[in-house]
Amino acid sequence: MKKICIVTLIVYISFLSCATKKGVVARKIAITPGSRIVVIANHTNNIKNVIIARFMNKNYSVKAFNASDLYTIEDVYDVKDFKKVAYMQPLKNDNMLSFEKAVENIYKLHIYNYELSKAEALSDMRTKYGTQYLILMELKDWQKVSWARAIDLTNMEVVWVENYPAQYKDTLETVVDHFIASMSK
């Protein structure tokens, strides 16, 4: 009897220690079939093809777009001579302020340029490609949480978001179909 109680207690504690993942869904509008979308997923091409095929099979107008389209060769810098980019300054207390200012200015320049580039890329998606919604997805193995979100490109507002804890029986196709069903309600 004592062994049964101990085993039961161990099993109960092990169940309590397992983290249960809860799904999260928020939706402002339904993204119905026929909508013009761009899907960006950070996966290999064969998985991207499955994702795009699932959307196409549900009658979404999927635009040809890759995440690599967000940057050009102009955004890539090859530093051939690091002496030209080095900040040579003796480390005295009175000069540290100017060094910190220089680092802060470089950081701000990078951040503001990124924000500007992002805004231009999203605007191009809407105007050049005629896209209504940007769908971002990350698919995980079971026991982990897959997520997706949709951005309305007319006002840059997030209109749907979901965290989906994948189940053991889920496949790539069932998770993508779940997201499509969820966003189109």
Q: What is the dihedral of CA 25, 51, 114, 163, to 10 degrees?
A: 20
pLDDT in tens, 42-58: 888 899 999 999 999 99
* Strand intervals (E) in 49-152: 61-62, 133-138, 145-152
Phi, psi of 38 (to 5 degrees): -120, 130
pLDDT in tens, 108-162: 666 667 777 778 888 888 998 899 999 999 998 877 899 999 999 999 999 999 9
Helical (H) or strand (E) element with 123: helix 93-127
Report the C-alpha gap between 164 and 180 in whole angstroms. 12
Helices (H), 18-92: 45-57
Q: Does residue 175 register a pLDDT over 90?
A: yes
Q: Does domain 23-183 have CATH number 1.20.1440?
A: no
Domain boundaries, the chain: 23-183
Residue 156 Ramachandran class (φ > 0 left, ψ -120 to 50 alpha, else beta): left
